[in-house]
């Protein structure tokens, strides 16, 4: 198969996708499909199979067979790495196409999706480099007649459930370490955004992996997603999505004791102290909440700001919000695209209303824009709510949209207390020029990632994950390999003598 050409989806075309199961492109057994809506045009642009229990079972069996009996299970790490590097090359060659498909599916800016797709190969290169370093230890035995060592073996079949906000990057955070460890994989993308994962699956095939190593089932969460999590043939579930669904996933996985990693929601604070570089801080706050239309798990959705700079900062933010160019996500000059789908837009609008009912003030935005060319899309203005009390719903619940809640605070202690007072703990930004304060506050925050004078940067080599209700386990970095391996201890008797069989040795 040839690498694909870049094709911008035509307005009058509806693409029909199939799923990849055991190296074959298949439809759902029921023949049912689901529709993917382009959030800029509001129109259906693609369809994918709506998998049921039977389809999921077939995919898990294919992954199981590839793990237990196929050539994949016998490959050395060095051989797996070669395939992973080939995949990385194909992603690089096709990055633009993958990005266009993702933007069309979820309305995120092509500007950002292109950058994500171009960065993705680095994950596969990094983890390819780790395949021959997943090593055990020899343990100096306390028994003179034993030689003891450990092996870090692949956990087996991984079921991965991915949300709609960054489908391929969040898939990659699971797939790259899983392949490095030697696992096989069944991916279930979000029902709103199946297309990019199926485009990616073509590249996976082209890279030359044995059939069944990577399978994709598309379908709805409560049916296909749930069937995957509950399948006894799945040894590990990697999930990114809402905290509510994450809890359901963990309970379902517990029934067959599958290991889980959960990357869940957040209500991350961007903290601005009086001594901060205000221009840099304002820019960081914008990137935290308005980039990606606020639809990121790590969104800096609460601004905890010291009173002395509150008014200046809010004025600077309103100025910046006013200049943000809403537009077609496929156009490079657009700065904010639509919300990904209609229900999500309604949820965001609902919170803007709730915030005002709770007593917050609308300092900027809050409405659907009225420009003609934005009418069909699920657009909402960048929105700033001031006078927010940290106990309000808009300070405690994940909105997942471009809505900033501004919370004033006085002392450093109060700032830390407010910042930590939510059920979440995914990330935080700290803006200050005082190096001692920066580290002091970073250590006091209950969050898996803290950025100092920065926001929203991630890397393949740096662990990412949540404290508290933001998740369990870590993705990225060598740390994440632990999530896809299990440890076996091997005891070798050296003397050849027998011993008392009725005692623990
Ligand atoms: P969701 O958590 O329900 O969906 C995420 C994924 O889980 C999708 O692939 C979905 O099909 C699957 N899923 C749903 N129910 C399932 C089940 N019972 N068993 C297995 N898989 C299941 O999130 P949804 O409904 O798309 O969005 C709702 C809210 O969740 C958003 O408004 C946002 O607040 C939050 N969210 C947070 C994300 C994050 O990265 N932190 C990502 C997506 C959504
Ligand atoms: Mg849902």
pLDDT in tens, 397-434: 999 999 999 999 999 999 999 999 999 999 999 999 99
Task: Work out the average pLDDT over 486-502.
Answer: 95
Residue whose CA is at the smallest distance from ligand 1 atom 32: 400
Residue 192 lies in a domain: yes
Are 86 and 53 found together in one domain? yes
Distance 265 CA to ligand 2 centre (A): 13
Residue 8 lies in a domain: no
- Using the atom order of ligand 1, give the atom closest to the CA of residue 399: 34
| Catalytic annotation, residues | 263, 297
Are 153 and 292 found together in one domain? no
How many helices and strands (H and E) does the chain possess?
14, 21
Residue whose CA is at the smallest distance from ligand 1 atom 26: 163
Spatial separation of the C-alpha atoms in residues 141 and 143, rounded to whole Å: 5
Work out how many domains the chain is built from and give that number: 2
Are 402 and 256 found together in one domain? no
Are 258 and 319 found together in one domain? no
DSSP-derived 3-state class of residue 117: helix
Range of the domain at 284: 269-452
Residue whose CA is at the smallest distance from ligand 1 atom 15: 221
Are 443 and 338 found together in one domain? yes
Q: Helices 167-181 & 77-93, crossing angle to 10 degrees?
A: 160
Residue whose CA is at the smallest distance from ligand 1 atom 30: 242
**How does DSSP classify residue 9?**
P
Please tell me the pTM assigned to this model. Answer: 0.96
Chain segment 368-395, per-residue pLDDT in tens: 999 999 999 999 999 999 999 999 999 9
Strand partners, 303: 270, 406
Are 256 and 318 found together in one domain? no
DSSP-derived 3-state class of residue 444: helix
- Ligand positioned closest to the Cα atom of 241: 1
Are 359 and 388 found together in one domain? yes
Strand partners, 488: 151
- Using the atom order of ligand 1, give the atom closest to the CA of residue 229: 20
User: Which of 48, 60, 108, 163 best tests ligand 1's pocket when mutated (most atoms within 8 Å of CB)?
Assistant: 163
CATH number for the domain that contains residue 351? 3.40.309.10
Residue 61 lies in a domain: yes
Out of 452, 479, 498, pick the residue that ends a domain: 452
Residue 1 lies in a domain: no
Residue 501 lies in a domain: no
Kindly tell me if the per-residue pLDDT of 367 is higher than 90: yes
Helix (H) or strand (E) segment spanning residue 407: strand 403-409
- Using the atom order of ligand 1, give the atom closest to the CA of residue 164: 43
Residues 6+ apart with CB under 8 A from 337: 39, 40, 103, 107, 108, 109, 293, 326, 327, 328, 329, 377
Spatial separation of the C-alpha atoms in residues 343 and 191, rounded to whole Å: 13
Chain segment 39-61, per-residue pLDDT in tens: 999 999 999 999 999 999 999 99
Kindly tell me if the per-residue pLDDT of 3 is higher than 70: no
- Ligand positioned closest to the Cα atom of 344: 1
Distance 221 CA to ligand 2 centre (A): 7
Residue 465 lies in a domain: no
Are 377 and 445 found together in one domain? yes
Task: Work out the average pLDDT over 158-173.
Answer: 98
Are 238 and 307 found together in one domain? no
Chain segment 273-303, per-residue pLDDT in tens: 999 999 999 999 999 999 999 999 999 999 9
- Using the atom order of ligand 1, give the atom closest to the CA of residue 162: 9
- Using the atom order of ligand 1, give the atom closest to the CA of residue 219: 11
**How does DSSP classify residue 235?**
-
Q: Check residue 9 and give its pLDDT.
A: 74
User: Which of 196, 242, 267, 403 best tests ligand 1's pocket when mutated (most atoms within 8 Å of CB)?
Assistant: 242
Residue 459 lies in a domain: no
Chain segment 301-331, per-residue pLDDT in tens: 999 999 999 999 999 999 999 999 999 999 9
Distance 191 CA to ligand 1 centre (A): 10
Q: Check residue 2 and give its pLDDT.
A: 42
Distance 245 CA to ligand 1 centre (A): 6
Q: Left if phi > 0, otherwise alpha if psi is -120 to 50, otherwise beta: which for 149?
A: beta
Q: What is the mean pLDDT of the chain?
A: 96
Are 273 and 248 found together in one domain? no
At 268, the pLDDT band (50, 70, 90 cuts) reads: very high
Are 416 and 276 found together in one domain? yes
Q: Residues lining ligand 1, judged by CB closer than 6 Å?
A: 161-165, 188, 190-191, 221-222, 225-226, 229, 240-242, 245, 248-249, 264-265, 297, 344, 347, 398, 400
At 7, the pLDDT band (50, 70, 90 cuts) reads: low
Are 40 and 102 found together in one domain? yes
Spatial separation of the C-alpha atoms in residues 185 and 188, rounded to whole Å: 10
Distance 31 CA to ligand 2 centre (A): 23
CATH number for the domain that contains residue 63? 3.40.605.10
Spatial separation of the C-alpha atoms in residues 264 and 468, rounded to whole Å: 10
Distance 483 CA to ligand 2 centre (A): 25
Distance 199 CA to ligand 1 centre (A): 21
Q: Check residue 10 and give its pLDDT.
A: 73
Residue 431 lies in a domain: yes
E-only strand ranges, 218-360: 236-240, 259-263, 269-272, 302-306
Is 429 within 8 Å of 271 (Cβ atoms)?
A: yes
């Amino acid at each position: 198969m040839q690498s694909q050409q870049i094709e911008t989806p035509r307005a009058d075309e509806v693409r029909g996708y199939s799923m990849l199961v055991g190296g074959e492109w298949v439809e759902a057994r029921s023949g049912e499909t689901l529709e993917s809506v382009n959030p800029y045009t509001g129109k259906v642009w693609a369809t994918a199979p709506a998998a049921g229990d039977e389809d999921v079972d077939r995919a898990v069996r294919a992954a199981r067979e590839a793990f237990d009996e196929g050539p994949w299970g016998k490959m050395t790490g060095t051989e797996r790495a070669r395939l992973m590097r080939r995949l990385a090359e194909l992603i690089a060659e096709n990055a633009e196409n993958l990005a266009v498909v993702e933007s069309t599916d979820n309305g995120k800016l092509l500007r950002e999706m292109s950058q994500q797709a171009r960065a993705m190969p680095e994950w596969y290169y990094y983890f390819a480099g780790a395949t021959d370093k997943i090593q055990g230890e020899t343990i100096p035995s306390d028994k003179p007649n034993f030689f003891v060592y450990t092996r870090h073996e692949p956990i087996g079949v991984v079921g991965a459930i991915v949300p709609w906000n960054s489908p391929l990057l969040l898939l990659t955070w699971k797939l790259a370490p899983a392949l490095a460890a030697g696992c096989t994989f069944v991916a279930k993308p979000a029902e709103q955004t199946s297309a990019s994962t199926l485009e990616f699956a073509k590249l996976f095939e082209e890279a030359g992996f044995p059939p069944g190593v990577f399978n994709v089932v598309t379908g709805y969460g409560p049916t296909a997603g749930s069937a995957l999590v509950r399948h006894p043939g799945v040894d590990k579930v990697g999930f990114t999505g809402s905290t509510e669904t994450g809890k359901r996933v963990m309970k379902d996985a517990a029934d067959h004791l599958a290991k889980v990693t959960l990357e869940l929601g957040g209500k991350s604070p961007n903290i601005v102290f009086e001594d901060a570089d205000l221009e840099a801080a304002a820019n960081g706050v914008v990137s935290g909440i308005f980039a990606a239309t606020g639809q990121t798990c790590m969104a800096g959705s609460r601004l905890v700001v010291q009173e002395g700079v509150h008014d200046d900062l809010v004025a600077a933010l309103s100025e910046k919000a006013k200049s943000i160019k809403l537009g077609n996500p496929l156009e490079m000059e657009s700065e904010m695209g639509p919300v990904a789908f209609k229900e999500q837009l309604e949820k965001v609008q609902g919170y803007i209303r709730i915030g005002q009912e709770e007593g917050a003030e609308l300092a900027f935005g809050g409405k659907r824009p009225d420009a003609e060319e934005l009418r069909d899309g699920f657009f909402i203005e960048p929105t700033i709510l001031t006078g927010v009390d940290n106990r309000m719903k808009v300070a405690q619940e994940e909105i997942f949209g471009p809505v900033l809640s501004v919370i004033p605070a006085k002392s450093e202690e109060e700032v830390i207390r407010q910042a930590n007072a939510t059920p979440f703990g995914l990330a935080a930004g700290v803006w200050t020029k005082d190096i001692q304060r920066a580290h002091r506050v970073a250590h006091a925050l209950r969050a898996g990632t803290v950025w100092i004078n920065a926001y929203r940067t991630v890397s393949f080599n740096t662990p990412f994950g949540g404290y508290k209700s933001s998740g369990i386990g870590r993705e990225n970095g060598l740390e994440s390999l632990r999530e896809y391996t299990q440890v076996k201890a091997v005891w070798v008797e050296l003397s050849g003598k027998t011993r008392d069989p009725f005692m623990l040795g």
